[in-house]
Structures are given as structure tokens and as C-alpha cells.
Amino acid sequence: MISLKGKKALITGASSGFGADFADILAKKGMDLVITARREEKLNALKESIVEKYGVKVRVIVMDLSGFGAAEKLYSEVKDDNIDMLINNAGYGMYDWFERQDAAKLDKMVQLNVVSAFVLANLFAKDFSAKNSGWILNVASFAAFNPTPFYAVYGATKAFLMNFSVAIRTELKKCGKNVCVTALCPGFTATEFVERAGQKRSKLLEMMIGRSYPAAEEAINGLLKNKPIVMPRFINRFAAFFLRFLPRSIAADAAFMSIRDKD
């Protein structure tokens, strides 16, 4: 069993959902934390709760990682903190017909979901390689396995993250580095994601939705075992396996029918 007591994790997008779950799970394992997101009030409330429950050290950094150069700025703030684990959780989706979406807003989403994630991974991979120890968890999505109408750009960002994670994990492993990299690919989960994306919760979606905390625990356990991909819940793993045998156009048609708002 790997001991994390006394080590330190940086968690982006920590104010709610998976980010808050990761913070609780890692603090319970004895890790000190650096938590960052845009919402200062929620971060401070999370810090207070975690310190009270687990007695670990928690540093709050309020930052919007969707801005140009934000990842480098965050790294410069924490590079002397001896970070042992990077949780690239910050990200969001935008639901609508692609032609109706605003290009500037899509660009901002890509900056957060993709650019900030790989920049942070690059900077910390250097540090982790130098000390031959470290963990990187990138939060992707089930959408990474399938063309996803109405989430066309979001799905593409998550496909990037999944393939990127497996690629750099392979590089580090082949170089004999003791650095673990895992992509978490959850399906629809009970977080703020759907509401923020602008999608209505259909009856089908309500049937498919899972809980975030067990998925977060599974992700951390998978990361500690250096699994390339963690996909919580059998229904998601079965669907991803089945998608391998469908032409991508048919898979996209199926996604269109299941995701489209009926109103």
C-alpha cells in the first residue's frame, strides 16, 4: 500500500464536484493540499471542512485557468511547494448545436480543458521525473470515446486528454520513470457539469447519471496503481467496449439521439 501521508497534491477545479471529492479523499489519506478554482468562497469553505476533519495543511489559490498564461502563473506560485501529485480537474462543457455556439467562449473552454492541462502536466512531469516520483491525474470523460453531437468541442478536448495521458504515461514508463499518469473517463455524473453546460436533465440522463465520490475514489486508486484509464461503472465500460465495433458515424447518430434535448 502506497502511503501518501505528508505528501502534497495540487487540485485544479477544486471548488465543487470531482475536485472537492479528490480533496476530501486525498486529505483523508494524509496529503496536504493546494486547491485552486475561481470561486473563493467555496474554496475557503472546503479548506475549513478538510482542516477540521483531517488536520492537514490546505493552501487556497483563487485563479481562472482559462486565461492565457494562467497555467504557467499557477506553476510559478507552487513550484517551491514540493508538489507530489497533480490533479488536472478544471474543465467544463458547452451544450448546443455547434453553429450556434460562440467561438470566443469555445476558445476559452479549450484553453481550460486542454491548454492549461497539458502545460501543467508538462511542467510537473519535469519535476516528477527529476525526483523520480509523482502522480498526474487528468480528468477526461466517456465523451473521449465517441463523437458527441451538441458537445462536439468538449468531446474533442476530452479525447485529447485521454490520448495525451496514455501517451505520456507510456513515455515515462519506457524511460523507467516512477511517475504515474492516469486518465479518468467518467460518464454523466451528479456534479454541476450538466447545468453549467446548458443541457436539460432528460429521463434517460437521470437513469444514466452516477455519483461522483465513488468515481473519484476509483480514480485515485487507479492512479496509485498506474492504470492508464479509469472508467467508473460497468455500464460505461460496456458502452465504451461496444462502441469499438460501431462505425463512428453510427455511434455519432446514436449519441445525437440520446443527448438531444427534446424540447
Q: Is residue 158 flagged as an active site residue? A: yes
Beta-carbon contacts of residue 171 (< 8 Å; ≥ 6 apart) = none
CA distance 224 to 1: 9
Catalytic site residue from 47, 158, 177, 227:
158
The alpha carbons of the chain give a radius of gyration, in whole angstroms, of 18
CA-closest candidate to residue 183, choices 141, 229, 150 = 229
Alpha carbon distance 152, 148 (integer Å): 5
What DSSP string runs through 207-239?
Answer: HH-B-HHHHHHHHHHHHHTT-SEE--SHHHHHH
Cα–Cα dist 104/94, whole Å: 12
Q: Which residues, at least 6 apart from 112, have a Cβ–Cβ distance to it below 8 Å?
A: 65, 66, 90, 91, 92
* Contact status, residue 137 vs residue 182, Cβ threshold 8 Å: yes
Task: Pick the catalytic residue from 54, 75, 151, 154.
Answer: 154
1 contacts 18 by C-beta, under 8 angstroms: no
Catalytic amino acids?
A: 154, 158
